[in-house]
Amino acid sequence: MKKRLLMLALLGHALAAQAAHAGTHRHHLKVDDALSHPKTHKTPLLRVQSHIALIYDEQDRRPLYNKNSETVVPIASITKLMTAMVMLDARLPMDEAVSVEEDELNRIRRAKSRLRVGMTLTRSEMLKLALMASENRAALALARSYPGGPAAMVAAMNAKARVLGMQNTRFFDPTGLDSDNVSTAQDLVKMVAAARLYPLIHQYTTSTSHSVEGLRGRPVRFSNTNPLVRNASWDIGVSKTGYISEAGLCLVMEAKIKQRPVIIVLLDSWGKHTRVGDANRIKKWMEKVSFQDSQRS
């Protein structure tokens, strides 16, 4: 009888131990299953309409998005960022008077300008209008006032491009009306990064508007060609637009999105709002990705 009771006790203990082991094993299976099938966080798809696009993360020094960034194309008035840099490098008096003279602007491109021949502004105002309103006659006036004239300025622009490592960039005029002014999105990232180091370029490219005195004493008001500078949700450090038929609509910006500094290059866009629409899509995409990253940590 004692042996039978002892056997029953040992059997009960063995069954209890087996049940405990089985429960532990089932728990480990659940953990392993969760590890082998983690919850996936899909990165939202970015659809950019511009033919060429590049988003460059200045903090990590890497591209976040790349679309045909090595293609050499005309860059239109994006050129004026380089025009501004070499002019500022020359350290010319910014309060010196600079006049609009007769030119071949309309013969080249039938480009419209609200600056009339004979108008005189300070070099500072000409620079502001060239950058903010993309005024071609302002850029030409700056080139004429450059030591050695337009040819010397273009030579300085190409020299600076080489210093910045812009190997696929060439300049033939200071306005961008010449379709032989070409570059790549990769090169333009370098140019925008360099331009951001000039306080006046930051100030002028992000100004919303500026008024000057016309020939008859009436104020002439100019607005920024990039409507995003008037959008409070954007934190823009450098902005420049461009357009000629060979280049399409172009936009470059240095901006902070979710406190992250990035350079955005959009080239060969078509449609009235394509480049601006692409920029807004990029901003929303980065905000979404940044939010998901913060949720994972």
> Could you report the per-residue pLDDT of 52-63, keeping only the tens digit for each?
999 999 999 999
**Residues whose CB falls within 8 Å of the CB of residue 262, separated by 6 or more in sequence, listed in order:** 55, 56, 57, 58, 64, 254, 255, 256, 286
Q: Which of 167, 168, 185 is nearest to 67 (CA)?
A: 185
Please give the pLDDT value at position 107. 56
Burial of 114 (0-12, 13-18, 19+ CB in 10 A): middle
Question: Cα dist. 29→36, 81, 86, 98, 116 in Å?
Answer: 10, 61, 67, 79, 80
- Domain coordinates of the chain in residue numbers? 52-296
Please give the pLDDT value at position 15. 40
Residue 80 known to be catalytic? yes
Once rounded to an integer, what is the mean pLDDT over residues 122-137?
97
Residue 245 known to be catalytic? no
Over the stretch 165-199, which tens digit does the pLDDT of each residue have? 999 999 999 999 999 999 999 999 999 999 999 99
Over the stretch 74-121, which tens digit does the pLDDT of each residue have? 999 999 999 999 999 999 999 999 999 877 555 556 667 889 888 999
Once rounded to an integer, what is the mean pLDDT over residues 135-145?
95
Whether 295 has a pLDDT exceeding 70, the answer reads no
Residue 284 known to be catalytic? no
Which residues, in sequence order, are bridge partners of residue 54? Answer: 66, 265
Q: Which of 267, 265, 243 is nearest to 253 (CA)?
A: 265
DSSP label at residue 286? H
What is the spatial distance between Cα 112 and Cα 174, in angstroms, rounded to a whole number? 16
Q: Which of 6-10, 17-21, 113-117, 188-192 has the highest mean pLDDT?
A: 188-192
Two tokens, residue 233: 């949700």
Determine the Cα angle at 92 with ends 88 and 93, to 5°. Answer: 120
Two tokens, residue 67: 């679309």
Q: Which of 180, 90, 166, 103 is nearest to 135 (CA)?
A: 103
Please give the pLDDT value at position 218. 83
**52-296 architecture in CATH?**
3-Layer(aba) Sandwich (3.40)
Q: What are phi and psi of 64, to 5 degrees?
A: -95, -25
Two tokens, residue 54: 């590049």
Please give the pLDDT value at position 245. 94
Which residue among the candidates 80, 128, 160, 190 is catalytic per the annotation? 80
Which residue among the candidates 77, 113, 183, 239 is catalytic per the annotation? 77
Whether 215 has a pLDDT exceeding 90, the answer reads no
Over the stretch 267-283, which tens digit does the pLDDT of each residue have? 999 987 899 999 999 99
